[in-house]
Structures are given as structure tokens and as C-alpha cells.
Amino acid sequence: MKIHFVLIFTAIFALPLLTSFTKIESRMGNAPRTAQQMVAAGYKRYGVEKGTLVFQYTGVSSGTDYIYFDNWGWREAKYSRCTTKLGTFSEETNAVQYLDGESRYIYQPASNKAKYFDSRQAVIIAEKNGTKDLSLYSDEMLRGMGGKQNGKVKIQNIDCDVWNIEAQNVKLFMWKGITMGEESYVSGNLIGRKLMRVELDKNPPAEKLVLPKGAVVEGKK
């Protein structure tokens, strides 16, 4: 269940790789770019520059996600605190995912450690599809996952596209490349997130967007 759960809620956040590893290797000689450098090069990850989203987990999960972003989504932090209980299965999550341009970190507050991941796949996707605005490509990415668009729904006064991915029993609510809500069923049990609050075009707290001072980073050369 853990793998299924993570895939659902990071499918859009992580921008999964849709092209060959050889193309990524061709860029490995260059240092990953920062969020500011990505924007200066003309890239956009979302169709809105900055904002804050607050989600509540629903179904067999309880808890919250706080997502802060600026630089058109190239700098982002997702704070997750969640408990999932299903039968004898129980899992607690307390973690933060940071994105800074082409670098990603998963931080565990309990240990004060963060794992580093090279995240240059987004540029490969953009180059392959002839655009620097990845929010325009989110529809194609969802179709590639077997998704079908099925109307619209208003969430927090925002018109969102409804996407069904039947093979995974997943429903996503999308707007400008941002996942505004999810519903998934595992053995008939709902695991979802509901958007409770949204603030757009307003600077999020700067300290929320960077790793805490003193955090131990693993895996970065």
C-alpha cells in the first residue's frame, strides 16, 4: 500500500521521467540549476507564479499537507503529516519534500536528515515536447498514464479539470499543472486529499521554502 499511496500523491509533484536515461546522462556534466536559474532560462513548472495550498487527508488517512511555492513552481516545499490506518496496517508520515530547480530533497524532521535527488528530468520532458511551460504539458503526461479528462469541478472557486486514471483507481483534479485534489481507492477504501485553503500570487514565508539550517544532506556529491 505504501508504494501505491506514494505514487498517487507524487505523480504530478515529481514530474516522472517520460524519456530515455541517455538524454539525462548528456546533461549530468552540468550542475543542477536553481529555481531562479530555471526561471531566468524561461522555464515554468506551474501556470501560476507563487502560492500556498493547504490539504486535508480523507478516507482511511488523516492529516494535512501544506504546500508553499514560488518561482513558477521551481521552488517548492511540501510538509506532510499523515496517519493511515487500514485493518492491521498503520503508517505515520512526517516529512518535507523540497524542490529547488533541478534539485530535490526529502527531509525527515525526526532525524534532521535529508536525502538529495537529482531532478533534471523536467527539462528533458520540456525539450522533448518543445515547450518550456510544463503546466501546458500536464494533460499529455496524464494521458500517458492512461488518464481521461471527464469534465470540470469547482474547488475553492477554481475551475479544475477532472482526470480519471481507471487502471489505478485514481481521480485527479488539475489546474494550471497543479494537483488541486485526489481520490484513490485501495480495496474499496478511500485515500484522498481535499483542498481546504488556497492563496495565490502571494509570497509564501521564505523560511518554509528552504532546508532547516544544520540539516544533514545525504547523497549529494
Q: Give the pLDDT confidence of 133-184 residue by residue, as tens digits.
A: 988 888 888 998 899 999 999 999 999 999 999 988 999 999 999 999 999 9
Residue 144 lies in a domain: no
* Average pLDDT of span 35-39: 96
Residue 203 lies in a domain: yes
In this prediction the pTM is 0.88
Residue 125 lies in a domain: yes
Range of the domain at 105: 2-135+188-218
Confidence of residue 87 (pLDDT cuts 50, 70, 90): confident
Q: 155 has which bridge partners?
A: 158
Residue 77 lies in a domain: yes
Spell out the alpha helix ranges (H) of the chain: 2-10, 21-25, 35-40, 121-128, 138-144
Residue 117 lies in a domain: yes
State the distance between the two ends of the chain, measured CA to CA, in whole angstroms.
32
Q: Which residue has the cell 488539475?
A: 174
Regarding predicted confidence, which is higher, 57 or 128? 57
- The CATH number of residue 115's host domain is 2.50.20
pLDDT at 42 exceeding the cut of 60: yes
Residue 176 lies in a domain: no
Residue 175 lies in a domain: no
> What pLDDT does residue 29 have?
58
Task: Return mean pLDDT, the chain.
Answer: 87
pLDDT at 131 exceeding the cut of 50: yes
Burial of 185 (0-12, 13-18, 19+ CB in 10 A): middle
* Average pLDDT of span 63-83: 98
Closest CA to 162 of 185, 186, 179: 179
> What pLDDT does residue 5 have?
43
pLDDT at 77 exceeding the cut of 90: yes
Share of the chain above pLDDT 70, in %: 86
pLDDT at 9 exceeding the cut of 70: no
pLDDT at 221 exceeding the cut of 50: yes
pLDDT at 204 exceeding the cut of 50: yes
Q: How many distinct structural domains can be found in the chain?
A: 1
Confidence of residue 126 (pLDDT cuts 50, 70, 90): confident
> What pLDDT does residue 23 have?
44
Residue 179 lies in a domain: no
Minimum mean pLDDT among 26-40, 67-81, 91-105, 188-202: which range?
Answer: 26-40
Q: Which residue has the cell 494535512?
A: 64
